[in-house]
Each structure stands twice: as C-alpha cells, then as structure tokens.
Amino acid sequence: MRKEIPWLILLILGAVEPVRAQEYSVSAIPDSLKENANCIVREFTTTMNVSSVNSGVEKVKQVFTVFNRDGEEDVILKLFYDKNASVNIRQIIFYDAGGKKIKQAKQSEIEDYPAYVSFELFSENRVKIYKPVNADLPYTIEFDYEIRYSNMISLGRWMPEDTYRMSVQHASYELTHPENIKINRREFNLKIKSSESEGGWVTEKWELSGIKAIEREPFGAPIIERASSLCLMPEVILFDKYEGKADSWKNYGKWVYDLYEGKDEIPETETTKIASLVKESKDTLEIMRKLYKHMQDNTRYVAVILGIGGYQPFDVSSVIEKGYGECKALSNYMYSMLRYAGIKAFPALASAGSYRPPVYKDFPNFSQFNHVIVCVPFRGDTIWLECTDQRIPFGFLGDFTDDRDALLITPSGGKFAHTTRYKAEDNLHVTKTEISVDPSGNADFNTVSRYTGIQYDDAGELVRSRREDQKKWLYSKTELPSLQIKEFGVEETPAIIPAVRLTESGTSKSYASFSGKYMVLPLNLMNVQGPVQKMLKERQSDIITGRPSIDCDTTIFRLPQGFEPESLPDKINLKSDFGSYSSVVSFTGKELIYTRKLEIYGGRFSSSRYRDFYTYVMSVSKADKSKVLLVKKV
C-alpha cells in the first residue's frame, strides 16, 4: 500500500530550495566583496577528523560565485591523490545569479588523470579535475567532496583565498583529533576561534569572513604571504614502517636520514670507474668536479614516484642501471660518490624556485621543502651542487635555490645551512656597443654583452637553445627600431660564477629621427629600464626588488659626416636605498660616447617606502630616455 507523505514534510522540503536560492543569490553578496573580485568564496567549510597519527577523513564544501572567465579558471576543482588517499566527489551543483539551481554535474564529466608532468616517467599520483563552464555570468557553483587518508604525513595548508582577485564571504576549518595525538600548527593572518575537549577528543576551529580580494602589486609579495592560511603538522610521523618525530627540525631530519639508510651503496663496477676517474687527482676540488661531470654525463632528470618513493630516494644501483632519477635519487648518487671518495657531503632539503619563502624554524613541517641538492663543506666555505640539471656549471645554483635556508640531512639529524648568496659583483651584465649612424638616421651596430651569475641564468639558456630561438631572444631584449640582426654568437664560460658572452651585429632603420634642423639621437635603446606602475591606492605588501646586480653599458656612436652635438646632457647621478644609477656623455670630435651604470641593491622594503621606490625607478626610466640633438655644421 502506498504511503502518503505527511504534508508538513512536503512543506519543509518545498521551503529548502527558496532558502538556498536566497542564500546563494548574487544580490546577497556585500558590495565591498565584489570590488576587484573575479570570483567570491561564498562558503568554504572543511572538517578534518584525524583518527590516528597517520589517517583521517577530510570533508569539504566549497561554494564560489563566478563573475567572469578569469574567475572561472580560478575555481577549477583539482584534487590530487595516490594509493594512500581515496577521493569521493559527492556533488557539483550550478546556481544562477538569483541562487536558483540550474544543473548538476554528472560523475562522467569529472576527469581523472595520472598526475604526470613532462619529466616524470611514471607516478602513482593522480588528479581529479572538474572545469566549470556556464554560458551565463555570474553564476554560483557548489563542490561537495570527501578525502580519506592513510599514511598521512602532513595535514597541509588550508588557504581559502588562494589567488588574486578572490574575496571570501565565509570560510571555516574544524580539526578533530584524539587528545593523545599532538598536532602542531602555524597560523598566518588568522587566529584560532575555539578549542574544546570532550571524551578524549579535541576539536579546534578557525574561521574567516568578509575578506576582500587581494590585488597583485608591482614588485610585491606573493599571495601565499598576503592571504590568511593555516598549516598543520602531526608531531609524530608514521609512513609505512618509518616512524619519527617532527617536534624539531633536528628530529625531522633524522627521520629523513633513516629513509636514506642503505640507499648509498655503490656497486663494484661503479667504484672501479670512480677510482679510475680520480686516481691522478690530488686536489679535492678537482675530484669533486670530475665526479659531478660523471654524474651529469651519465644521468638525466626523470621522476618515478611509487609508494614511499615520493619521499625516499631510489638506491644508487637503480640510478646507475637506468641512467635517470629525480632530485632525491640524483643527489643521493652524487652524495654517495663523494663519500666514497672520502669527501664530506650531505643531502640538503631546499625550497626551489625564484621566490625564496621563509623557513619557519619553530615549525617543522613537511610542506616547507620541495627539492634536494647536495652540500659539500669545503675549506671554510660551502659548495652546493644542483644534480637535476645536466648542463648547469659545477657549484652554481642560480636563482632556483640561491640565498635561502636548507636543511642538511646528517646522521645526527637536521641542521640548517644557508645556500650561496650572490653579490652584485657576481651578477653582472656588461655591454659594449658600437653604432654607426648615417645621414638618414639609419644605423649599423655591433654589440658584445657578457652576463654572469644570476644574470647568466636567463642568457645561459641560449647556449642550449635552437638557433632560431636564440635569435628571437635577442630581438626581445632590445628596443632598436626596425631591427635586422645579421650575425650573432653565443659562448659559455662554465664556472662557479658562470658567464655567457653574446655577440650581435645588424642594422636599425630610423634609429635617429629628425625634428626641424635637428637629428634626434637616442642614447640608450639597448638596455632600458621601463617604468613601474603607480599605486593609486595604499600599498599593502612589501617591496621585493630581487637579487643584487650591476649593469654597465658603453655605447660608442660614430656620427654621420658633418654632424655634431649641439650640447651634451649633464651627468646623471641617482642614489637611493634601492640602488644607484649614473650616466655620462662625452664627445671626442668624431665619436659620441655614452656610459651607463645601474646597480640594484636587492632586498625587501616596507610597503610604506613604495612612493620612494616609484620615484627612484621613474627617475631611472626617464634618464634612460635621454637624447642628444645633433646639428649639421655649416
């Protein structure tokens, strides 16, 4: 017999949809959160239930309102997992601008890929992806999913506002765990809201609301520093049979050291090669160079991430047999050869990338480092070896791992050391250009440029590039009008402070222009400092000027017959806390000589200094636009 549903339940169910429509209506969003926002986090609710030291269940509900196609890109769902995690996407629902449900995504529309990147041969990592597409804007999308973890090492970082131009209406994170499991935390721009204990369980909660969109700022700190976030890390680490503690970086490093145990044994066939390589070398530095070249010549960077392989290096024999490995495996191979040769060395964990995030020495955590290099203490100094780039010069790090704290993995545990900080004198760009100008203002030129240190990083890629790509790069680095490059060359000098030398010759039509009786001659079109964005609002983030460097440019102009400068520009000398600039022009009677020097001090400055920074950069940019008026002698 068919049962009738009570009228009261029908009434309640019928009321749900209008309530939700009102909740997700775009009109319910405060105007302050819409300002400069591509999308808005309407709701981001995360509950994390830790059942044991290395297992737990995370339940997430995310609701975004999307205003434009850029915002649509920002809310793409990407859930990474492996054999130690299972992902269940329960539902994905679309709502119109009024908050009314318009459609629900099908499970078949959720893509599931191996999470390979180009340099990975094989990985157990996978990713579930859903790319929202809706014809009408704005719209709201709701994600509801659950992830179950085993062999969990870290609880990661909770960061609702994870990109620019995204505001947050409401977000919360709730952590529940047994009282006997200690979870360490680091809070960024937020504080815990509540903490309760009951029946042997602890529940802690963090909450955010009414967070305005963050805008990208020139020379600014990255979003990860400016947005609110929470990092959580269990104090006890347990992965398969490997157990350790993360109550200090020393103990964390000891746990990592145990992962390396037994992985450094070199097969006899290889020890014979090593002995042959170094038998006639008595200088330790020469031995290191030979072993490094041997590693580079016989390996390539390919990641294979299987099981604990994401954290533990493959043994030396596997690297030798296959001829490839990822950063841990290749660094372990190099470290093992050095040890065999009697040279003290350590694997070192580092955070890779041109951005140098701070290391939180009071908060050991798995998310801090993403790369491994080799540290070799040597004669009161330290040599650092990057093992994943088979063409990088010995001892050079570049801006990939320079000037940052690294964690040495030693038998007694983790120890911090600081990687190479390149000085301004190391990071040079020195250019000499000869330009012959004809009476029509056209010019022939010859240029010799030398890049060293961090400035080598960019130009050094040319050595490994195709001829046509080298030429494109040269075209991109100049403002010469109607440029035609006829000949060019690239020559590398490998060293701990490496260099690359570029030669270039060609023509530039209408290099000089005419105004009345004057030929207008630009002094600098080879290495120009561009302007910087003026801040119309109050600056929010620190000013980061990058690495220290020096540019020195000399340009010799051979003037057309009968022309001479009407007058010479005054010397320019600019000094600030951010750098210094000078230029001077002289005339010998036949040649006009322009010299320029720009030094960037490099560093981090308070946001309150942006007006000073802006004024200085604009002064340099203006000076770089200097011209000389040439007149024809009667």
The dihedral over CA atoms of 621, 622, 625, 628, expressed in degrees to the nearest 10, equals -150
Neighbours of 489 (CB within 10 A): 11
Question: Per CATH, is 428-632 categorized as 3.40.190.10?
Answer: no
Judged against a pLDDT cut of 80, whether residue 212 lies above it is answered with yes
pLDDT at 306: 52
Per the structure block, which two tokens stand in for 13? 């169910």
For residue 20, pLDDT beyond 90? no
Per-residue confidence (pLDDT) for residue 4, from 0 to 100: 47
The pLDDT assigned to 311 comes to: 81
Q: Measure CA 490 to chain center.
A: 27
**H-only helix segments in 467-626:** 467-476, 610-623
41-54 b/e (C-beta count within 10 Å ≥ 16 → b): bbbbbbbbbbeebb
Q: What is the mean pLDDT of residues 373-379?
A: 94
At residue 19 the predicted structure's pLDDT band, cuts being 50, 70 and 90, is very low
3-state helix, strand, coil in the chain (%, to 5): 25, 40, 35
pLDDT at 5 over 50: no
From the number of C-beta atoms within 10 Å of its C-beta (0-12, 13-18, 19+), residue 616 rates as buried
Q: Tokens in use for 274?
A: 């090593």
Q: What are phi and psi of 338, to 5 degrees?
A: -65, -45
Output the pLDDT for position 275: 93
Tell me the pLDDT band of 304, cut-offs 50, 70 and 90. low
pLDDT above 70: percentage of residues in the chain: 94
From its phi and psi, is residue 18 left (phi > 0), alpha (psi between -120 and 50) or beta? alpha
- The lowest-confidence range among 10-19, 41-50, 295-304, 529-538 is 10-19
- Count Cβ atoms below 10 Å from residue 128 Cβ, excluding itself: 18
- Which pLDDT score is estimated for 381? 86
What is the per-residue pLDDT for 12? 42
Given a cut of 90, whether residue 124 has pLDDT beyond it is no
pLDDT band at 461 (very low <50, low <70, confident <90, very high): confident
Residue 17 has pLDDT above 60, yes or no: no
For the chain, first and last CA: distance in Å?
116
Instruction: Give the pLDDT mean for 582-588.
Output: 97
The residue among 337, 332, 233, 357 whose CA lies nearest residue 288 is 337
Could you report the per-residue pLDDT of 543-565, keeping only the tens digit for each?
A: 999 999 999 999 999 999 999 99
379 pLDDT band, cuts 50/70/90, is confident
Is it the case that residue 612 has pLDDT exceeding 50?
yes
Res 8: pLDDT: 47
Instruction: Give the CA-trace dihedral at 321, 327, 331, 333, to 10 degrees.
Output: -10
pLDDT > 90? residue 6:
no
Q: Using alpha carbons, list the distances in angstroms from residue 130 to 26, 93, 95, 105, 142.
A: 23, 12, 16, 9, 12
Q: Which helix (H) or strand (E) holds 420?
A: none
Both tokens of 5, joined, read 């549903």
Q: DSSP state, 599?
A: E
CATH top-level class of 250-418? alpha beta
DSSP per-residue letters across 362-392: TS--GGG--EEEEEEEETTEEEEE--S-TTS
Contacts of 594 (CB under 8 A, 6+ apart): 523, 524, 553, 554, 555, 556, 557, 583, 584, 585
| Banded pLDDT at 537 (limits 50, 70, 90) | confident
pLDDT at 158 over 90: yes
The average pLDDT across 455-461 equals 88
Mapped onto helix, strand or coil, the DSSP state of residue 432 is strand
pTM of the model: 0.91
Q: For residues 313 and 302, what is the distance between their CA atoms, to the nearest angstrom?
A: 13
Task: Domain ranges for the chain, please list them.
Answer: 24-234, 250-418, 428-632
Residues of the chain with pLDDT > 90, as a percent, come to: 83
- Nearest alpha carbon to residue 240 among 327, 349, 153, 370: 153
Give the pLDDT of residue 135: 83
CA 4 vs. chain centroid, Å, equals 61
Name the least confident of 392-406, 524-538, 586-600. Answer: 524-538
What pLDDT score was predicted for residue 29? Answer: 97
Higher-scoring residue by pLDDT: 204, 115:
204
**pLDDT at 121 exceeding the cut of 80:** no
**Residues whose CB is less than 8 angstroms from the CB of residue 25 and which lie 6 or more positions away in sequence, other chains included:** 97, 98, 99
Q: Check: CB of residue 385 under 8 Å from CB of residue 407.
A: no
On average, the pLDDT of the chain sits at: 92
Q: Residue 432 — φ and ψ, nearest 5°?
A: -125, 125
Mean pLDDT score, 596-621: 95
Closest CA to 460 of 431, 509, 422, 427: 427
Tell me the C-alpha to C-alpha distance, in Å, between residue 107 and each of 90, 130, 141, 145, 183.
9, 10, 15, 12, 35
CA distance 558 to 512: 13
pLDDT band at 575; cut points 50, 70, 90: very high
- Average pLDDT in the 88-100 region? 96
The span from the CA of 551 to the CA of 98, in Å, is 57
For residue 498, give both structure tokens. Answer: 């490496």
- For position 116, what pLDDT does the model report? 63
- Asked if 428 and 453 touch (Cβ cutoff 8 Å), the reply is yes
Give the model's pLDDT for residue 24: 93
Confidence tier at 54 by pLDDT (50, 70, 90): very high
SS3 60: strand
* Per-residue pLDDT, 13: 44
pLDDT at 125: 81
Phi-psi region of 8 (alpha: psi -120 to 50; beta: other; left: phi over 0): alpha
Q: In whole angstroms, what is the distance from residue 592 CA to residue 557 CA? A: 5
Mean per-residue pLDDT, 40-53: 97
Identical fold, 250-418 and 428-632: no
Mean pLDDT score, 431-449: 97
Query: Greater confidence, 622 or 21?
Result: 622
Give the three-class secondary structure for 221. coil
The amino acid occupying position 257 is Y
132-153 pLDDT per residue, tens:
988 899 999 999 999 999 999 8
Task: Give the residue from 408, 488, 383, 482 showing the smallest Cα distance to 440.
Answer: 482
Q: Which two tokens stand for residue 139?
A: 């719209």
pLDDT computed for residue 478 by the predictor? 87
Beta bridge partners of 207: 172
* pLDDT attached to residue 21: 59
Local structure of residue 361 (DSSP, 8 states): T
What is the rounded (10 degree) CA torsion for 527, 531, 533, 538?
A: 110
CATH architecture of 24-234: Sandwich (2.60)
Of 589 and 17, the structure prediction assigns the larger pLDDT to 589
Contact (Cβ atoms closer than 8 angstroms) between residue 480 and residue 469: no
Is pLDDT above 60 for 190?
Answer: yes
Buried b / exposed e across 87-118, counting CB within 10 Å, b at 16+? bebeebbbbbeebeeeeebeeeebeeeebeee
Is there a cis peptide before residue 138, judged by omega within 30 degrees of 0? yes
